Amino acid sequence: MTTSLDDYLEIQKEILQAQLKVIYRHQRKIPPQMRKIKRTSNLSFVEDILKNTGTPIHISEIIEIAKTEFNADLERDSIVSALIKKIKAGKTFIRTAPNTFALKKD
């Protein structure tokens, strides 16, 4: 009888731990698909943001999202310059309108 009780308690423990993980994830207010992404540069932030939105975004909005979701302060001129260099090299990004960027389709 003890084994059944131990099994039951173990199952309840795992259920509660799973529920706590969900609560902690939602308290951070970062979408789950953005949370597990590793970043090594500011352009990686931009790439992640564009990937998750799936639409072209103005640089001002990109900077705002980076600040609110990742607590990252991106400098407008620096990011625009880096994006333009990538665009001219034909890599990763495209410009769809003035200061509006999207990911390049493969």
Annotated domain spans of the chain:
1-30, 31-106
Name which of 95, 103, 101, 91 is nearest 57 in CA terms: 101
pLDDT, greater one: 26 or 3: 3
pLDDT of residue 11: 92
Question: E strand or H helix at 26, and its extent?
Answer: helix 2-27
Question: Mean of the pLDDT values across residues 47-59?
Answer: 92
Q: Please state, rounded to an integer, the average pLDDT across all residues of the chain.
A: 85
Q: Which CATH number fits domain 31-106: 1.10.10.10, 3.30.460.10, 3.30.470.20, 2.40.50.140?
A: 1.10.10.10
SS3 at position 50: helix
Residue 2 is which amino acid? T
- The structure tokens 């990109």 sit at 62
